[in-house]
Amino acid sequence: MKIFSEELVEKATHKLHVADLSRATIGEVLLMAQYLENETGIPFIRMDQGSPGLPVNHYGVEAEKAALDRGVGSQYPAAAGVLELKQEASRFVKAFLDIDISPRSCVPTVGSVAGSYGSFIACTQRIPGKNKVLFIDPGFPIQKSQLRIIGADWVEFDIYNYRGAALEEKLESLLRQGDIAAIIYSNPNNPAWICLEEEELAIIGRLATQHDVIVMEDLAYFCMDFRHDMGHPFEPPYAPTVARYTDNYILMLSSSKIFSYAGQRMALCCISDKLFDQHYPALAERYHDAGVFGQTLVASILYMITSGCTASTQYAYAEMLRLSTEGKINFVEDTREYAKRAERMKKIFTDNGFHIVYDYDVTQAVGDGFFFTIGYGKMSGGELLKELLYYGVSSINLSTTGSEQQGVRACTSRMREDLYDIMEERMKAFHEDHPLD
């Protein structure tokens, strides 16, 4: 039995001006869930927005307050970032990735969204004729919206059928055209939670070097592949990264998920030293500067977007990185709660006829973490999104992430202990109302 009537859901779509519910954005689904919950008082199972669902890291809070008490709020922050953060970022990368990047090449950004935006601009303008971005999908829809703003084109493919060795031929067929400036993906992946394995990262890195393409590696869920214990600084296993296989990389490290510091909008672009110092005549001509990649990105692009990052938050991030590197906090254990939630939520779904869409990496079953993907019988992703709304469950259609598979993305961050029984009851009703062949 449906929790919310079709009439009420239809009323909500008109009220909120949602043109096509089957292809609704994260923001539109969020508003739908809020509207239905407020209208009826019936709680929703919120699986839409990937907002942190754990307490903020209090060490960061205390460090930020201390910075404000010292008076840092009265001065503009340096465009390249405060020295303490740059130094701690360099140490953190060495501790958890075993990669050497100098402090000068670690650049704070106002969240990874600003980091990708500025990087897209620099990457697509550095070499005439190389002006497209290649998305290894599924991925973060906002990044394509950023390219629309700057007028850059992109190509994309769903990695579902191109895991392992098959990835090389697919990438080569796209890169040989000569117009790809950058490759972007997230690892672990938003929305599928698949993780690229070493063989695949080696392929990406080798081809990036061969075709002079910059790899933008979004590490928003850094070390959150909980199948491996990566929370110990300067000890293997280290987090996987393309940086082991090419010098053409920008690593985006956000504080939002690993430290639950999303509200302060703080991240880093950690750029290989070789790329940071690379000279590009096209950048020099456009920006009337030295045309050095890192310098242009910082002073001529990122500064024009955000005028630097909030100084006090930079000190907060520096302190959280320092304590992690010194082994005084374990952000991996702190975030393992997401894996526990995913395991319980997946079981409720699969016990009631659902299946996991992106269910396997190359050599092992996909892990539990911040996201997972579900499908139901032969329903399209749009149909499933809409049907789940009637049962008080919000999600997003996989098609909006560049996926060619049918299903929806589920986020674990907003799940609460008191909602598991409610969720199980609703999914039993869903299964009864939608018998499978």
Question: What SS3 string covers 230-294?
Answer: CCCCCCCCCCCCHHHCCCCEEEEEECCCCCCCHHHCCEEEEECHHHHCCECHHHHHHHCCCCEHH
Distance CA 56, CA 68 (A): 18
What pairing do the DSSP bridges indicate for beta strands 408-411 and 106-109? unpaired
- Give pLDDT, residue 3: 92
Answer yes or no: do 304 and 340 share one domain: no
C-alpha 286: how far from chain center: 30
- On whether the CB atoms of residues 376 and 115 are closer than 8 A, the answer is no
- Give pLDDT, residue 1: 81
Distance CA 14, CA 297 (A): 43
How do the pLDDT tens digits run along the chain, 437 residues long? 899 899 999 999 999 999 888 888 888 999 999 999 999 999 999 999 889 999 999 999 999 999 999 999 999 999 999 999 999 999 999 999 999 999 999 999 999 999 999 999 999 999 999 999 999 999 999 999 999 999 999 999 999 999 999 999 999 999 999 999 999 999 999 999 999 999 999 999 999 999 999 999 999 999 999 999 999 999 999 999 999 999 999 999 999 999 999 999 999 999 999 999 999 999 999 999 999 999 999 999 999 999 999 999 999 999 999 999 999 999 999 999 999 999 999 999 999 999 999 999 999 999 999 999 999 999 999 999 999 999 999 999 999 999 999 999 999 999 999 999 999 999 999 999 999 98
Whether 1 is in a domain gets the answer no
Smallest Cα–Cα separation from 393: which of 417, 339, 429?
Answer: 429
Answer yes or no: do 185 and 238 share one domain: yes
- Token pair, residue 171, equals 């990438």
- On whether the CB atoms of residues 412 and 372 are closer than 8 A, the answer is yes
Report which DSSP code applies to 133.
E
- Token pair, residue 237, equals 């296993």
- Give pLDDT, residue 130: 97
- Give pLDDT, residue 23: 85
- Give pLDDT, residue 271: 98
SS3 (DSSP) at 134: strand
Domain finish residue from 259, 294, 325: 325
Domain finish residue from 299, 325, 351: 325
Please tell me whether the peptide bond between 435 and the residue prior to it is cis, using omega within 30 degrees of 0: no
Answer yes or no: do 20 and 68 share one domain: no
Residue 214 pairs in a beta bridge with 182
Answer yes or no: do 309 and 414 share one domain: no
Answer yes or no: do 256 and 356 share one domain: no
Q: How far is the CA of 232 from the CAs of 228, 254, 317, 378, 423, in angstroms? A: 11, 19, 18, 43, 35
Smallest Cα–Cα separation from 400: which of 18, 34, 132, 99?
Answer: 18
Answer yes or no: do 307 and 355 share one domain: no
- Give pLDDT, residue 135: 98
Smallest Cα–Cα separation from 2: which of 411, 354, 420, 386?
Answer: 386
Answer yes or no: do 237 and 344 share one domain: no
Whether 375 is in a domain gets the answer yes
Domain that holds residue 388: 6-54+334-433
- Report the domain count for the chain: 2
- Token pair, residue 276, equals 């940071």
Answer yes or no: do 38 and 129 share one domain: no
Rg of the chain, C-alpha, whole Å: 22
| Domain CATH code at residue 384 | 3.90.1150.100
Please tell me whether the peptide bond between 191 and the residue prior to it is cis, using omega within 30 degrees of 0: yes
- Token pair, residue 25, equals 């954005």
| Domain CATH code at residue 250 | 3.40.640.10
